[in-house]
Structure 1
Amino acid sequence: MSASRTERLLNLLLALLNTKYGLSRAVLREKVYHDDGGSDAAFGRMFERDKTELRSFGFEIETITEPGLTAEDPATTRYRIGKESNRLPDVHLTPAEGTVLVLAATLWERAALGGAAASALRKLQASGDLGEVQLPAGVQPRIKPAGQAFEALVTALNARQPVSFGYRAASTGQEERRLVEPWGLGSRFGQWYLVGFDRVRGAKRFFRLSRMTSAVQPETKDSYELPAGFDARKELDGLAELPLQDAVLEVAPDRLLGLRRRSAGLPGRPPADDGRELLTVPFRDSELFAEELASYGPHVKVREPAELRAAVVRRLEAAEAALSRPAPPAGFPEPAAPGRTRKRTSEDQLSRMLELVPFLVHNQGLPIQDVADRFGISRKELIADLQILICSGLPEGYPDDLFDIDWEDEHVYIHEHLELNRPVRFSPEEASALLTGLATLGNLPAQAGLSGDEQASALESVTVKLAGAAGEAGRTAASLAAPPVQPAEAGFFETVTAAIKDGRQLALRYFSPQRDTVSERDVDPLRLYSQDDTWYFEAYCHSKSAVRNFRLDRVEELAPNGRPVSTPASADTSVPLKLYTPSDDDVVVLLQLSGQGAHLADDYYAERTAGLPDGGLLAEVRFGSADWLPMFIAQHGGAARILEPAGLAEASAAWIRAALEQYGA
């Protein structure tokens, strides 16, 4: 759909919205399409495509016929769209409801549901009943969707399209192609799962997203029906956790402190021939544990079980195979844009315009750059939208029949909205993002100055209101079950929360697996935040004279040291943008990522990216420690390789080869 089609569809929508008795096809052809030279058949096909497009945006197009005549006669049939068609119902929120709603919306870190949640909030703000809610300093839970597979599955689920993908079964270790009707997505035991109907097996099955070995491909010409009453949360509640097993490991002397602390020892067994120590470490998931063990490279060797040993070797061999492939040309398009963005389409543009007009009506006079930032687009893209809008209007084309928007003084004002002053209904993605986020907050300690009862009451009432406003689109929320965000380290969580509130320093004893050391530090806590159920706190570290991030599950001791903070937390910086804080000492690394590993560009906040012909990416990423990079490459099993600096690439290759030599590979 080109920009001209965007404008045409917008004009068609305005014409159908602003007619009481309906407009005939001939009138629309003359006044909206300005088509007087094409064939009737060609125009008819174009008109039907445009009606289908408007219906895809949720607008109900009424067909009106004269009594005694049939709808097959285009000369007598008229069309219109009701004023209330696809309009978001009014949602009146209390301040407490607004606060928990914004907290729920900001759960989604990025990806499909992150953008959908932001869009849903803009619609509520455009309705005039949700003001600017300022989240308090201190706590921000976040959900991190599972890479590109998550994106593709959410899209297919909403479109009710089957998907196919390569999958390595846990029971056999064999890889095969699966054809599945996606019913729901959810997180349990620290992993994301797809539950759906496996057409090959003819039965319901669960699939762990991390076991998918290829991109998810939608079957766009096929469809299915979701089972009545399906609830992903209930389905996943019945999923049994994998049983505990013992891994027997050979560990280099004085290495891998974290593994040693999880080990039960091996009394009565001799040490390995090379003087290494034998450890038993309990685990549940061989693939997940193999990812960790592969990152330890030559410092650990798996003796048993065979399944775990094979998983580690397979990961290391994939990493070595990636190193042997020809390197792609190392370069980025100019001008280089930060991060990786999805290609925008004209469908995006029209959808944005339907959101932009009511937003401007209820937010008059905002600086133009602020508006662009709110919508996640550039200033140039916003001006392109506005220029299309001011050229669009009702069929007669008089000055009062056009949008009246002014931005000459760098502030945007809209004086004529042509019945687009109310936002359209939530999309299934938008409803899912908000309703799933609200359900996820149920076990989070009270925030934003609310008591536990106040937060619970606000969560319940705002959920009822949004479910009513979402209508049919809200049904999709039952197909998503986000991970729990309540902190497992409740004592440490409360200690950090209290220290942030009171402005007190903390004394910290902390284990770093990358450096394999335990350190003691005095820190000024700034904020708590999570990635799924893993909680972090950001603090100014006095020993490093810099801001650092600390995982709560790696904290060994934590208590106030009796001193006030020198860097108090503030609401202006309540939500960290990254888990990683850049510094001048960072190592800038050029990575080649496979299609399956492309999500690592987002996970590690790539500064520049460039697409590759095989679906992968070139990514320029900052790392705080070069020593950790061989571990990173081994861990991801062929999904990433270092291209530059050459010395780090060679060190990673040597690390992986040394690890494989232990297994005779």
Structure 2
Amino acid sequence: MSASRTERLLNLLLALLNTKVGLSRAVLRETVYRGSAENDAAFGRMFERDKVDLKQFGFDIETLMDTGFGEDDPASTRYRIGKDSNRLPEVSLTPAEGTVLLLASQLWERAALGNAAVNAVRKLQAAGGFADTELPSGVQPRVKPAGQAFDDVVAAMHGRQAIRFGYLAGSTNREETREVEPWGLGSRFGQWYLVGLDRGRTAKRFFRLSRMTTAVTVMATSRFDPPAGFDARAELNSLTELPLQEAHLDVDAGRLLDLRKRGSAMSGTNGRDTLRIAFRDPEKLAEELASYGPHVMVREPAGLRAAVVRRLQGAAAFDAAPPVAVEFPASAPVVRARKRTSEDQLTRMLQLVPFLVHHQGLHIQEVADHFGITRKALIDDLKILICSGLPEGYPDDLLDIQWENDHVYITEHLDLNRPVRFSEEEAAALLTGLAMLGDLPALAGVEEDHAGSALESVTLKLAGAAGEAGRLAGAVAGASVEPEQSEAFATVTKALRDGRQLRLRYLSLQRDEVSERDVDPLRLFSMDNTWYFEAYCHSKSGLRNFRLDRVESLEPNGRPVSRKAVPDADVPARLFTPSDDDALVVLQLTRQGAGLADDYYAERTAQLPDGGLLAEVRFGSPEWLPMFIAQHGGTARILDPGPLREASRAWLESALAQYGATTSSPAG
């Protein structure tokens, strides 16, 4: 969408909002489309496209007919947009409800629903429903959806379009192409599942997103209607956990302490120990074991062995693929490029006007910061807005916004003083997020006695405001954010509240060693149901993140926190803290693996013709890179620096040699 088209859509919206009797095509062409359409046919095509676009932004256009004429007579047809039917109902939140809502909106880790949640909160703030609320330090849960596939499936569910993808069938362990009507999406047993109609089998089926072997293709022309009253949570509750199995692993002596904690030793040979490990999900364990490369070999079962070899072969094959040119945009380092920037601009402007109405006189930089844009981008928005107005074009018919002395005021809003209603994605993001918070034993910033009631009341208010847009919320069942390490969680929570230091014994997976630390706890945060706490580590004299499931012991040491550090300013908390000693690595990611650029905070990215991505990423421990490449089994490879790529290749070859396998040989 070009800037001129953005202006035209905004003017069309204002014209249709500010008419009671409706406007004919002739009037619209003469006023809104003057100079844009060469003839009636071109105008008709543009107008029909614009109607579709406005509907996507949440505005339904009413078609009115003069009595005695048919709808095929363009002279008798008029158009308008109702002032109330497209607007967000009034929602007033208490401070406790605002805190709970903000926590729910921050759950989604950079996925499509994450952007939707941000937009939904901005709409509520623009309408004056609740004042700006700081996300409190303390407990900050978040959920990491299953990569690009998650976004593609959500988009298809919203559009009610079928999808096609390659899938590794659990029953046959063979890759098959599936065509599915996506009814719902949710998390169970630490995995994301799609439930829908498998058209090839004409039956309901569940699909694990981690077993998808290709990118998801949305079939734009193939539409469907989901079953009435579909509830993803209820459907996923019918799933049973996979049966318990036992793996026999040969492990290098003295290595892989985390794996040893979970298993029992058997007799070993040739400098290796044989471990017995109980597991349920072979794909999940295979991802971990592949990352250990040559330091572990699977003896049995055969399915687990094959899954590990498949990942190693996939990583080796991608590494051996023809090279691609490493070219990043010439501009300053940027994060992964976003799509639909003009659409984003119009969405933002529709939030900006009501926000200014309810927040008169804010400093221009404060407004820009609120919307997460630069001062220049905000001024570009304001320049478009002040040139937009009613078809007559008189001065009083234009939006009136001033920003003299760097403070922004609006005196004429032309009925854009209320945000547009929630989209399905926005309603789903907030309502599903609130449902996930119900599992959490403590809500940051909310007194314990009021947390449950605030969660219940804000859910009711948001469900009422969402109305029919809440349909998609029933199709998404989020992951549990309840910590499995409840005792450690409670210990850290109490230390945060009381301002006390903690002493812990901690297993570092990268260093494969246990160390003792005295730390000042700063906040708890999660990635799905894996919980971390950020702390100032006195032995390292810096901020560190500690996984609760790798803490061997944890107790107060009797001292108050030193106040040598405060929580990192990033919200939500970052898993990785950049350092001058980091290795700067250029990765090539497939379309399936493109989400890794976000997961690892890529400093620069560049789109590739096949839908993949170049990403420049900092890694604090280069020795961990071969593990990273092996773990992701063919969705990521190192392009630069050369020595790290060679080390990764040697790691993969050594791991495959244990199984007598090569890049292309079948799993044995």
The bucket for the TM-score relative to the shorter chain is over 0.9
After superposition, the C-alpha distances for 1:380-407 in whole angstroms (9 at most, x for unaligned) are: 3332222221111011111111111123
Corresponding residue number in structure 2 for 1:315: 311
The correspondence of residues 127-526 of structure 1 with structure 2, limited to 5 A, is: 127-266=127-266, 271-272=268-269, 274-526=270-522
Shift of residue 92 of structure 1?
Answer: 1.6
Is the contact made by 2:335 and 2:605 (CA closer than 8 Å) also made in structure 1? yes
* Comparing 612-621 and 148-157, the one that deviates more: 612-621
- Quick one: which of 633, 638, 642 aligns to 2:629? 633
Shift of residue 449 of structure 1?
Answer: 5.0
Shift of residue 430 of structure 1?
Answer: 0.5
C-alpha separation in 2, matches of 1:565 and 1:254:
36
CA RMSD between the two structures: 1.8
Corresponding residue number in structure 2 for 1:649: 645
* Comparing 178-187 and 18-27, the one that deviates more: 18-27
Is the contact made by 1:135 and 1:574 (CA closer than 8 Å) also made in structure 2? no
Shift of residue 109 of structure 1?
Answer: 2.1
Code of the aligned partner of 1:122: R
Secondary structure, aligned partner of 1:210: helix
Shift of residue 265 of structure 1?
Answer: 2.8
Is the contact made by 1:527 and 1:569 (CA closer than 8 Å) also made in structure 2? no
Code of the aligned partner of 1:469: A
Corresponding residue number in structure 2 for 1:7: 7
Corresponding residue number in structure 1 for 2:665: none
Code of the aligned partner of 2:373: I
After superposition, the C-alpha distances for 1:355-392 in whole angstroms (9 at most, x for unaligned) are: 22111211223333333333333433332222221111
Shift of residue 408 of structure 1?
Answer: 4.3
Shift of residue 353 of structure 1?
Answer: 1.9
C-alpha separation in 2, matches of 1:577 and 1:28:
49
Shift of residue 584 of structure 1?
Answer: 2.2
Shift of residue 11 of structure 1?
Answer: 1.2
Structure 1 residues 500 and 69: alpha-carbon distance in aligned structure 2, compared to 1, 3 A threshold: same
Code of the aligned partner of 2:252: A
Q: Which runs of 5+ in 1 are unaligned?
A: none
Structure 1 residues 39 and 586: alpha-carbon distance in aligned structure 2, compared to 1, 3 A threshold: closer
Secondary structure, aligned partner of 1:197: strand
Code of the aligned partner of 1:225: D
* Comparing 627-636 and 551-560, the one that deviates more: 627-636
* Comparing 212-221 and 372-381, the one that deviates more: 372-381
Code of the aligned partner of 1:394: L
Shift of residue 572 of structure 1?
Answer: 8.5
Is the contact made by 2:536 and 2:565 (CA closer than 8 Å) also made in structure 1? no
Secondary structure, aligned partner of 2:91: coil
C-alpha separation in 2, matches of 1:644 and 1:57:
42
Shift of residue 508 of structure 1?
Answer: 0.7
Code of the aligned partner of 1:583: S
Structure 1 residues 336 and 405: alpha-carbon distance in aligned structure 2, compared to 1, 3 A threshold: same
C-alpha separation in 1, matches of 2:462 and 2:124:
10
Corresponding residue number in structure 2 for 1:541: 537
Code of the aligned partner of 1:89: P
* Comparing 136-145 and 36-45, the one that deviates more: 36-45
After superposition, the C-alpha distances for 1:282-322 in whole angstroms (9 at most, x for unaligned) are: 11111111111111111111111111111111111111112
Corresponding residue number in structure 1 for 2:31: 31
Secondary structure, aligned partner of 2:312: helix
Is the contact made by 1:249 and 1:278 (CA closer than 8 Å) also made in structure 2? yes
C-alpha separation in 1, matches of 2:551 and 2:627:
22
Shift of residue 36 of structure 1?
Answer: 10
C-alpha separation in 2, matches of 1:570 and 1:600:
28
Structure 1 residues 650 and 474: alpha-carbon distance in aligned structure 2, compared to 1, 3 A threshold: same
Structure 1 residues 55 and 450: alpha-carbon distance in aligned structure 2, compared to 1, 3 A threshold: closer
C-alpha separation in 2, matches of 1:632 and 1:39:
58
Secondary structure, aligned partner of 2:483: coil
Correspondence 1:59 to 2:59: yes
Is the contact made by 1:198 and 1:204 (CA closer than 8 Å) also made in structure 2? yes
Structure 1 residues 630 and 39: alpha-carbon distance in aligned structure 2, compared to 1, 3 A threshold: closer
Shift of residue 483 of structure 1?
Answer: 0.7
C-alpha separation in 2, matches of 1:490 and 1:145:
23
Is the contact made by 1:526 and 1:568 (CA closer than 8 Å) also made in structure 2? no
After superposition, the C-alpha distances for 1:1-31 in whole angstroms (9 at most, x for unaligned) are: 3222221221121111111222222222222
Structure 1 residues 96 and 177: alpha-carbon distance in aligned structure 2, compared to 1, 3 A threshold: same
TM-score by length of 2: 0.95
TM-score by length of 1: 0.96
After superposition, the C-alpha distances for 1:265-293 in whole angstroms (9 at most, x for unaligned) are: 33xxx533x23221111111111111111
Code of the aligned partner of 1:152: D
Code of the aligned partner of 2:514: V
After superposition, the C-alpha distances for 1:170-205 in whole angstroms (9 at most, x for unaligned) are: 221111111111111111111111111111111111
Corresponding residue number in structure 2 for 1:664: 660
Structure 1 residues 220 and 275: alpha-carbon distance in aligned structure 2, compared to 1, 3 A threshold: same
Structure 1 residues 460 and 655: alpha-carbon distance in aligned structure 2, compared to 1, 3 A threshold: same
Corresponding residue number in structure 2 for 1:586: 582
Shift of residue 425 of structure 1?
Answer: 0.1
Is the contact made by 1:167 and 1:212 (CA closer than 8 Å) also made in structure 2? yes
Corresponding residue number in structure 2 for 1:623: 619
Is the contact made by 2:99 and 2:446 (CA closer than 8 Å) also made in structure 1? no
After superposition, the C-alpha distances for 1:199-240 in whole angstroms (9 at most, x for unaligned) are: 111111111111111111100011100111111111111111
C-alpha separation in 2, matches of 1:653 and 1:321:
10
Is the contact made by 1:445 and 1:452 (CA closer than 8 Å) also made in structure 2? no
Shift of residue 476 of structure 1?
Answer: 0.9
Structure 1 residues 18 and 259: alpha-carbon distance in aligned structure 2, compared to 1, 3 A threshold: same
C-alpha separation in 1, matches of 2:175 and 2:43:
50
Code of the aligned partner of 1:22: G
Code of the aligned partner of 2:139: V
Is the contact made by 1:139 and 1:447 (CA closer than 8 Å) also made in structure 2? yes
Secondary structure, aligned partner of 1:192: strand
Structure 1 residues 571 and 248: alpha-carbon distance in aligned structure 2, compared to 1, 3 A threshold: closer
* Comparing 518-527 and 357-366, the one that deviates more: 357-366
Shift of residue 501 of structure 1?
Answer: 1.4
After superposition, the C-alpha distances for 1:5-61 in whole angstroms (9 at most, x for unaligned) are: 221221121111111222222222222222598433333333333233323333232
Secondary structure, aligned partner of 1:413: strand
